[in-house]
């Protein structure tokens, strides 16, 4: 309790890591082994973007890289590439977070959408250049759309339940350590 | 607030950017290494999976069980009808069982007449499905037997009904089974009764494509599909499924294995067949004292035995 700023940040980081591991766990459950005709959203990416666009200090880039690389290895993707693209995308959003702070949710959503679209295209182009087998285009576009659609929900949950809120001008919490 | 932002640019900025650059370089480097030397990185991946997934297992098995129970719960509502269906099915099965027993006896008699030796080494190890691939774009499952149990890459995995896939990636406690539906799965097969050779090619859809058929005209929907063992890496004669035709007229495979519920898989032990490399030595006894000495040595050894 002597320094309430540090525990809060670390608590949220731990929460983020735990949620990500939970998402991996749910994805790995062998519930259906039939190839799906539709694809759900990439919840981990939506969660990371929701955190990065609101409170960049809750998603340290090393943690993002470690989690993304772990997912690459577990989910049978080409190791490293999607992790690298995720790191770059999250870093872009983190840099834009101070500007997004004063804007509406719609502009944040647009920023997330454009980032995700560029990430997906880059990924597919690089895989095509290196001649790696890749998922059908329709399915990965479907996943992109699903992730974008689920993003407001994730933000709502993060905002209302987890308490990931943008720093408001009158917000004392981050400054408390300095006072 | 403005001070906060300025500060991070002054001190932390360059260092952070350097860190970011190194990080991205490392990740892209890993991808390049994977592209160049895939087996090594895949072995590393198998080790990581081998470490991580069994540690989830205590939670995974009950959660999967609960989900399956919930799914089954709907079927309790129409218990009576299901009971009737099952009874009718049982009647049919009894008839089939009689037929199978008679055929088995006949088969045994015929095999005896022909003096056929079945391969005694075609035994199996049974494993439980622990996890799936976790991605909608990859079709594979992880089973809880690995190199500790003698599993090797390339062996066939079946459920009770038919072929499920092949082992691709072995850790010490886990092995990955690449399903027939995965986009990188190709299995040489032969159709019956037409006897055509072809490949079953997974395309991320529930019924894989049948391609490279010798003469496509002779293959009809409804033909049975068995593995052919071409190439010597896969055991022959395992049931894969039936030929069906999709709406565009392409031949596909209705897989015999029950992909809805993969729970226990049998991994068939199979070893590569001995190859005959030297051509002529069996044709006749070689002349000369040396060969004769070898013959005598052989005879002596046979006598000892």
Average predicted confidence (pLDDT) for chain B: 82
Band (B22; pLDDT cuts 50, 70, 90): very high
Nearest chain A residue to B68 by CA distance is: A31
Confidence at residue B260, expressed as pLDDT on a 0 to 100 scale: 82
The alpha carbon of residue A109 is apart from the nearest alpha carbon of chain B, in Å, by: 23
Band (A112; pLDDT cuts 50, 70, 90): very high
Q: What is the pLDDT of residues B229-258, one digit of tens each?
A: 887 767 788 889 999 998 888 899 999 888
The alpha carbon of residue A16 is apart from the nearest alpha carbon of chain B, in Å, by: 18
Q: Bigger pLDDT: B270 or B220?
A: B220
Band (A134; pLDDT cuts 50, 70, 90): confident
Confidence at residue B159, expressed as pLDDT on a 0 to 100 scale: 86
Q: What is the pLDDT of residues B109-122, one digit of tens each?
A: 888 788 766 665 66
Cβ atoms A54, A97 nearer than 8 A: yes
For the segment B259-266, the average pLDDT, to the nearest whole number, is: 86
Confidence at residue B9, expressed as pLDDT on a 0 to 100 scale: 47
The alpha carbon of residue B58 is apart from the nearest alpha carbon of chain A, in Å, by: 12
Domain boundaries, given as residue ranges, for chain A: 5-166
The alpha carbon of residue A75 is apart from the nearest alpha carbon of chain B, in Å, by: 5
For the segment A130-152, the average pLDDT, to the nearest whole number, is: 87
Hey, which CATH number is domain B124-268, 3.20.20.150, 2.40.10.340, 3.80.10.10, 1.10.10.60?
2.40.10.340
Using the Cβ of B19 and the Cβ atoms of chain A, whether some distance falls under 8 Å is answered with: yes
Domain boundaries, given as residue ranges, for chain B: 13-69, 81-114, 124-268
Percent of chain B with pLDDT over 90: 22
Helix/strand/coil percentages in chain A, nearest 5: 70, 0, 30
Long-range contacts, B193-198 (Cβ 8 Å, 24+): B193/B223, B193/B224, B194/B218, B194/B219, B194/B220, B194/B223, B197/B228, B197/B230
Query: Which residues does chain A have within 8 Å of residue B29's beta carbon, measured at their own beta carbons?
Result: 80
**Is the pLDDT confidence value at B293 over 60?**
no
Smallest Cβ–Cβ distance between A80 and the set B30, B67, B140 belongs to B30
**Is the pLDDT confidence value at B8 over 60?**
no
Average predicted confidence (pLDDT) for chain A: 84
Query: Which residues does chain B have within 8 Å of residue A76's beta carbon, measured at their own beta carbons?
Result: 45, 133-135, 138, 140
Q: Bigger pLDDT: B82 or A170?
A: B82
> What ipTM was estimated for this complex?
0.83
Q: What kind and span of H or E run contains A70? A: helix A61-74
B260-279 residues touching A, CB cutoff 8 A: 260, 262
Band (A117; pLDDT cuts 50, 70, 90): very high
**Is the pLDDT confidence value at A17 over 90?**
yes
Contact across the interface for B53 and A139, Cβ inside 8 Å:
no
For the segment A46-52, the average pLDDT, to the nearest whole number, is: 91
């Amino acid at each position: 309790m002597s320094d309430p700023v540090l525990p809060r940040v670390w608590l949220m980081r731990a929460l983020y890591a735990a949620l990500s591991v939970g998402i991996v766990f749910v994805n790995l459950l062998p519930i259906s082994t039939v190839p799906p005709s539709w694809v759900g959203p990439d919840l981990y990416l939506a969660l990371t973007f929701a955190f990065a666009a609101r409170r960049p200090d809750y998603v340290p880039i090393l943690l993002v890289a470690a989690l993304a690389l772990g997912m690459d290895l577990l989910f049978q993707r080409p190791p490293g590439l999607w992790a690298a693209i995720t790191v770059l995308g999250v870093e872009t959003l983190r840099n834009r977070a101070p500007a997004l702070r004063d804007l509406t949710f719609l502009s944040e959503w647009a920023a997330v959408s454009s980032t995700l679209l560029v990430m997906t295209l880059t990924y597919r182009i690089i895989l095509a250049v290196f001649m790696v087998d890749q998922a059908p285009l329709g399915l990965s576009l479907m996943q992109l759309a699903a992730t974008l659609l689920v993003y407001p929900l994730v933000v709502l949950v993060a905002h209302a339940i987890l308490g990931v809120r943008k720093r408001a001008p009158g917000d004392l919490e981050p400054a408390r350590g300095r006072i | 607030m403005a001070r906060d932002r300025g500060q991070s640019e002054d001190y932390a900025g360059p260092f952070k950017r350097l860190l970011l650059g190194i990080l991205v370089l490392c990740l892209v480097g890993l991808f390049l290494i994977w592209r160049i030397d895939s087996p090594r990185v895949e072995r590393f991946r198998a080790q990581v999976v081998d470490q991580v997934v069994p540690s989830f297992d205590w939670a995974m098995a009950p959660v999967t069980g609960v989900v399956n129970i919930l799914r089954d719960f709907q079927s309790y509502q129409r218990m009576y009808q299901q009971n009737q269906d099952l009874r009718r099915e049982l009647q049919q099965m009894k008839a089939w069982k009689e037929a199978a027993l008679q055929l088995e006896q006949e088969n045994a008699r015929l095999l005896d007449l022909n003096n056929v030796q079945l391969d005694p080494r075609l035994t199996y190890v049974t494993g439980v499905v622990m996890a799936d691939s976790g991605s909608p774009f990859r079709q594979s499952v992880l089973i809880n037997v690995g190199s500790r149990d003698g599993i090797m890459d390339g062996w066939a995995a079946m459920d009770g009904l038919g072929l499920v896939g092949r082992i691709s990636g072995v850790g010490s406690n886990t092995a990955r089974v690449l399903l027939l539906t995965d986009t990188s799965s190709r299995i040489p097969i032969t159709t019956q009764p037409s006897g055509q050779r072809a490949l079953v090619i997974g395309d991320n859809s529930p019924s894989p494509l049948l391609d490279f058929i010798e003469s496509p005209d002779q293959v009809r929907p409804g033909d049975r599909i068995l593995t052919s063992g071409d190439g010597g890496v896969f055991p022959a004669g395992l049931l894969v499924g039936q030929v069906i035709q999709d709406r565009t007229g392409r031949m596909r495979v209705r897989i015999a294995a029950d992909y809805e519920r993969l729970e226990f898989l049998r991994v068939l032990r199979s070893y590569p067949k001995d190859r005959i490399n030297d051509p002529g030595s069996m044709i006749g006894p070689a002349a000369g004292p040396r060969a004769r000495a070898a013959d005598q040595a052989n005879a002596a050894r046979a006598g000892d035995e």
